[in-house]
Amino acid sequence: MTRARFFLPAAALLAWGAGGFAASRAYRPHFPPPSEIQVPVKGAAGDMFSLALGTRRLFADLWFIRLMQYYGTREKPLAGEERECAEHPGERHHDHHGLNGEGLYPEFFSRARHILELDPHFASAGLYAAGSLAFNMDRPAEAEALLNFGIKYAPREWKYATLLAAVGYSKAQDPAAVARTITPLITDKDCPVMLKQLAAFLNKKAGDLAAAAVIYADIAATSRDAAYVDNARRELEKLSKKARRP
């Protein structure tokens, strides 16, 4: 009885220490430290849950959905920015937010960075956000900052480096090099449809209609985004008409 009184707690402490030792030797954090986390808008409570319940990946998904909703919402025009629309006479619009995704979206970068702060391995989100910043909103510096952040915490993610090179070519006004650089990306499962669309467009512009048609066909077959699928089908139709012309 006396032996059990001392032996059991001592053995328990020893076993507990052994568990801690094994875990501390094997564990390598895959995520940025808390000092890197900057909550851009209301959402600190959610982030606490993401850390406390070990659900960073899930909360990165939620922030990605919120980013898409933010980017998919038409911006309110600034004073005096509305003008009569050429396509709709008599109506005054700010812009036509279509597949090109132009706009200011001032919170876009901080929201996108927050996704990578929670899960830097979420390559689709990183590529989508950096591609939108660089090619749609003409903010290559922010795109580069985002990709560099991703590379810092997910150094094995070659797709970030590839897109970073493409952004560099885009800054140098070399669309053919951009198309060439992002070609390996578009066959990857993580490639956002927006980048595929860009690659198809650049190929079409450069006169490589066959390559553009292959990418559009891929978008039409694999994407779940109806807007991109419809556009890809339209483009395929146009390309096939062009090809039939003598």
Among 68, 145, 165, 209, binds another protein (CB under 8 A): 68
Does 221 participate in binding another protein (rule CB under 8 A)?
no
To the nearest whole angstrom, how small is the minimum distance from the Cβ of residue 131 to another protein? 13
Among 163, 182, 193, 198, binds another protein (CB under 8 A): 193
Stretch that binds another protein, among 20-28, 93-101, 102-110, 234-242 (CB under 8 A): 20-28
| Contact letters for another protein, residues 122-151 (x by CB under 8 A) | xxxx--------------------------
Among 2, 4, 38, 89, binds another protein (CB under 8 A): 4
Residue whose CB is less far from another protein, 158 or 169 = 158
Does 204 participate in binding another protein (rule CB under 8 A)?
no
Stretch that binds another protein, among 31-39, 99-107, 133-141, 172-180 (CB under 8 A): 31-39
Please give the structure tokens belonging to residue 207.
């006169």
Does 183 participate in binding another protein (rule CB under 8 A)?
no
